[in-house]
């Protein structure tokens, strides 16, 4: 099969279009013919070698975490899917590889593609939607009447998280540039802060939840806009001890992880708020809940650009630039 392959880790290192063996199918997996694949900052960070310590992939590696496509084969224990089904998923850790013609995904991680969404739209959804769901529903237990600050509202996670938070009945604040104010307001943002001219710490106070996706400076400031008992959930680090347990890290790695987040956890505790790191996981049952929101018209996908498969490196470069409105997708079929 054709695939975009990473031969060596390196900052902005180019992927190589190459012929690779079609992956073996395990008994609990379905083999998906990839029609479209979402492009995420996680792919760039893996390529750059940022996660070598905690996600030790073997090279050469096919990147890509989001997939929409058609089931072509099922494992012996698979019962929910059959060849011909149109599906979407966030590929499983250590089985990623959606920048290819075929990818195996565990049955437990797959859901039927939402009716009414194109393959490109569906491919833009899983990783960011599951990130928002696991942060706001599973971790924060966000309730009607609460307040949530979602950073980078025009980005991939932000565009979905704003819509989900509004559906849950929360008041939503976000940051974006002046050019994207109309977009985030159309998604449901109540308070919009232009990060180039305003300091969110001077605008926001006593919030219930912050979803942090930015740098360490922003993380520190986020502590100060939360009320006592509030929650700071970060998808950009630093990782916390629970994450070390979640990935089954070795003792030395768990110690490093604990030290990396010791400062922010200590300062959060001193202010009476909780800090946690979220590294989202593939989850088919949660994805089915998300499907229902799409099919009910509650949420829509936001796509900035669609690139041909041969231009996957250009798609990654565009994501690296940090200016995408919503998601970037590569199209195979």
User: Helices then strands (H, E): number in the chain?
Assistant: 11, 16
Residue 248 confidence class, pLDDT cut points 50, 70, 90: confident
Residues 140-154: tens digit of each pLDDT:
999 999 999 999 999
**Residue 125: band (very low, low, confident or very high) from pLDDT cuts 50, 70, 90:** very high
Distances (CA, A) of 147 to 119, 136, 273: 34, 11, 15
Task: Please confirm whether the linkage preceding 325 is cis (ω < 30° from 0).
Answer: no
The per-residue pLDDT for 190 is 98
The pLDDT assigned to 194 comes to 97
Enumerate domains of the chain plus CATH numbers.
2-125+301-331 (3.90.180.10), 128-277 (3.40.50.720)
- Whether 71 and 111 have beta carbons less than 8 Å apart is answered as no
Tens of pLDDT, residues 31-66: 999 999 999 999 999 999 998 887 889 999 999 999
pLDDT at 301: 97
pLDDT of residue 56: 86
Specify the pLDDT at position 244: 86
Reported as a single tens digit per residue, the pLDDT across 304-328 is: 999 999 999 999 999 999 889 999 9
Nearest to 193 by CA among 142, 235, 135, 152: 152
- How many residues are recorded in the chain? 333
pLDDT of residue 246: 84
| Confidence class for position 118, pLDDT limits 50, 70, 90 | very high
**pLDDT at position 329, please?**
98
Cβ neighbours of 187 (radius 10 Å)? 25
Can you tell me the mean pLDDT for 70-77? 98
Under the banding of pLDDT at 50, 70 and 90, the label for residue 30 is very high
Residue 259 has pLDDT above 90, yes or no: yes
Tell me the pLDDT tens digit for each residue of 193-243: 999 999 999 999 999 999 999 999 999 999 999 999 999 999 998 999 998
The more confidently predicted of residues 249 and 88 is 88
- Torsion angle of the four alpha carbons 129, 130, 136, 139, in this order, in degrees rounded to the nearest 10: -170
* pLDDT given for residue 52 in this prediction: 85
The pLDDT score that the predictor gives to residue 245 is 85
What pLDDT digit, counting tens, does each position of 131-184 carry?
999 999 999 999 999 999 999 999 999 999 999 999 999 999 999 999 999 999
Q: What percent of the chain has pLDDT over 70?
A: 100
What's the mean pLDDT when you consider all of the chain?
A: 96
């Amino acid at each position: 099969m054709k695939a975009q392959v990473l031969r060596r880790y390196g900052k902005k290192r180019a992927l190589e279009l190459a012929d690779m063996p079609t992956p073996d199918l395990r008994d609990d997996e379905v083999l998906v013919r990839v029609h479209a694949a979402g492009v995420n900052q996680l792919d760039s960070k893996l390529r750059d070698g940022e996660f070598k310590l905690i996600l030790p992939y073997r090279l050469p590696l096919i990147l890509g975490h989001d997939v929409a496509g058609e089931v072509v084969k099922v494992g012996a224990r698979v019962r929910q899917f059959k060849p011909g089904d149109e599906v979407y998923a966030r590929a499983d850790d250590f089985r990623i590889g959606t920048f290819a013609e075929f990818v195996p995904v565990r049955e437990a991680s797959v859901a039927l593609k939402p009716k009414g969404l194109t393959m490109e739209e569906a491919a833009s959804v899983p990783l960011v939607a599951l990130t928002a769901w696991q942060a706001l529903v599973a971790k924060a237990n966000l309730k009607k009447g609460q307040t949530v600050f979602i950073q980078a509202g025009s980005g991939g996670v932000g565009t979905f998280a704003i819509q989900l938070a509004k559906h849950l009945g929360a008041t939503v604040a976000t940051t974006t540039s002046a050019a994207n104010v109309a977009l985030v307001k159309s998604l449901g943002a109540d308070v919009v802060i232009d990060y180039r001219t305003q300091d969110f710490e001077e605008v926001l106070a006593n919030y219930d939840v912050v979803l942090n996706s930015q740098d360490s400076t922003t993380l520190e400031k986020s502590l100060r806009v939360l009320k006592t008992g509030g929650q700071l959930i970060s998808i950009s680090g630093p990782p916390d001890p629970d994450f070390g347990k979640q990935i089954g890290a070795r003792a030395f790695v768990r110690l490093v992880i604990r030290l990396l987040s010791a400062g922010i956890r200590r300062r959060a505790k001193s202010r009476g708020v909780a800090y946690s790191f979220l590294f989202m996981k593939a989850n088919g049952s949660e994805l089915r809940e998300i499907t229902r929101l799409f099919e009910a018209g509650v949420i829509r996908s936001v796509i900035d650009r669609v690139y041909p498969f041969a231009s996957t490196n250009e798609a990654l470069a565009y994501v690296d630039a940090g200016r995408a409105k919503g998601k970037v997708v590569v199209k195979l079929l």
